[in-house]
Structure formats: C-alpha cells, structure tokens
Amino acid sequence: MQCGVGHLPGGCQKTMWLHCTLILCLFSGWIVGYKQGDNVTLYVNKVGPYHNPQETYHYYTLPVCSPEKVHHKSLSLGEVLDGDRMAESLYHIRFRENVEKKTLCQLTLSEKQVDQLREAIEELYYFEFVLDDIPIWGFVGYIEESGFLPHSHKVGLWTHLDFNIEYNGNSVIFANVSVKDVKPVPLEEGAGAAVGGVGLGGGSLTVTHTYSVRWFESPLPHARRAERLRDYSFFPKTLEIHWLSIINSLVLVVLLLGFVIIILMRVLKNDFARYNVEGGWL
C-alpha cells in the first residue's frame, strides 16, 4: 500500500499518527508515572572535590555501602560526556512511602579505608546521586575547625542521610538530601573509644549507615520541574562564572586561529602563484 500526499488510507493515517507520537515523545521527554508503592530507583553516580567539579570518580571508589555485584545504568552520550558513572544502589525508595531511619549496611573499615575517607572529607568531597533523572548532591563528611591555641581539627563522616522528595500526582518533581538532624561520626586518627554507631579497635572501625525518606506534595507540574532544578544550586556561582570565562576564551582562541589560517592560506596561495609564473608553468 502506498501513501500519497492527498487522501490517506486508514493504515497510512495510523502510521503517520504513530510517527508524530514518537516525535513528540522524543522532543518533550518521557514522563515516568508511578503508583503509590512503586519502586523509584536511586542511582549512585560520582564523587569529587567540591571546588573542582571536573575531577570526579565513581562513587564506589570510596569505602561505602555497595551491592555484592554492581549493575551500571546504560548512559546516553550526554551523560557519558558529563562524566556520569551511574550504578544501582542499596537504597530502597518507594513512591510516596516514608521511611524512618532504615539501616543501609554495616561496614568494618580498615585503617587504610578510614584514612581514605578522612582524605576525601578534608578535600571537601561531595557525592552525586540520581533519582528519576534528578541530581542529588551532598557532602561525604564534615570538617570542624575551632580555636587558635590550642587548635582543634575534627573530621566527621555522615552516616545518615535524609532524602526529601517532592511529588505532584504520579510524578517526581524534585529531590535533595539533608543531614541537619544527625551528627557526623568522628574519624579520629589512631585508636579511640567507641561512639554512637561506631566501634573502634584492632585498627578497624565499624560504621552503620542509615537513611530516611520523606515525601512532600508539590504544586509544581512535571512540565515545569526543570524550573525547580534551575533555581536550586549546589555549586557556588563563581564556578558557573569560571566556566563562562573558559568558554569565552575558547571561542576567542578559535576565532583567532581561524583568522591566522585564512591569512596563511592567502599568503601561500600568492607564493604558489608567483612560483608558477617564475617557473614558466603559467
């Protein structure tokens, strides 16, 4: 059956409607709809120093809670270019179901792993999770500087995360993580007494990681959730300005390089023409 420009048979009309629907989906983005109790997958992504977001590593390079077998998410080209390394996590989040301090895992850290965490926290490492294509940022730990003489330098590990998720109808609108209601676990150098949730001894340290989930209704529709993401900024504005300066510099370099190439091409063209005339080829 052939489809002409004029009158369209029923089969051709259905085909065109299907094509239009697919195009609309591609340009408007898929809206993932959930029912209450449906699983909402939380992916862990990357970690890195806060003041250098371009330096990133896989989240599981740190001694953190991880599944026995890590399953990675298939990434788009844009996600790959952005340095994403999404993998499934141990967090169990269900749509519109609150969770109160659930144990994620218990880890026994070696002295080397404790030092690794201390170094990451002192470099202000942040983490990035992804929930329904929404990035969630937070810090791995906490640094407290107090006093001058004597000077106090304390490093703490966040072992409890509060996930705050906004929804509208059957879709997720926004998500973030907070640690304001908990205290960090101190990562002291050397041996020490046991503290809440932590056991020290024999050069090792046992830490219990927990999490909570709270759902909040939002008046913002799914079509405008990008506005909510745009208004929320985890990284300082100076980094955004820094990126703008880099882009402007690159554009200027490309333009200057283009001008130099054009001038060289003209000079070479004139030289070749002169050599051809002097050689008697013309």
What is the per-residue pLDDT across 13-58, written as a single tens digit (0 to 9) for each?
444 444 444 433 433 445 778 999 999 999 999 999 998 888 899 9
Domain ranges of the chain: 29-232, 236-282
Local confidence band at 195 (pLDDT 50, 70, 90 cut-offs): very low
Q: Which of 55-69, 119-133, 190-204, 212-226 has the lowest mean pLDDT?
A: 190-204
3-state secondary structure of 210: strand
Among the residues of 90-221, which ranges form H helices? Answer: 111-122
Question: Of 100, 78, 85, 176, which is closest to residue 132 (Cα–Cα)?
Answer: 176
Greater model confidence, 23 or 268:
268
What is the per-residue pLDDT across 200-230, written as a single tens digit (0 to 9) for each?
445 689 999 999 999 999 999 999 998 888 8
* Residues whose CB is less than 8 angstroms from the CB of residue 165 and which lie 6 or more positions away in sequence, other chains included: 40, 93, 131, 172, 174, 175, 213, 214, 215, 216
The winner for highest mean pLDDT among 2-6, 192-196, 271-275 is 271-275
What is the per-residue pLDDT across 227-261, written as a single tens digit (0 to 9) for each?
888 888 787 765 555 556 677 788 888 999 998 99
Tokens 């499934």 belong to residue: 88
3-state secondary structure of 145: strand
pLDDT value at position 245?
65
Greater model confidence, 79 or 280:
79
Distance (Å, whole) CA 43 – CA 85: 9
Local confidence band at 4 (pLDDT 50, 70, 90 cut-offs): very low
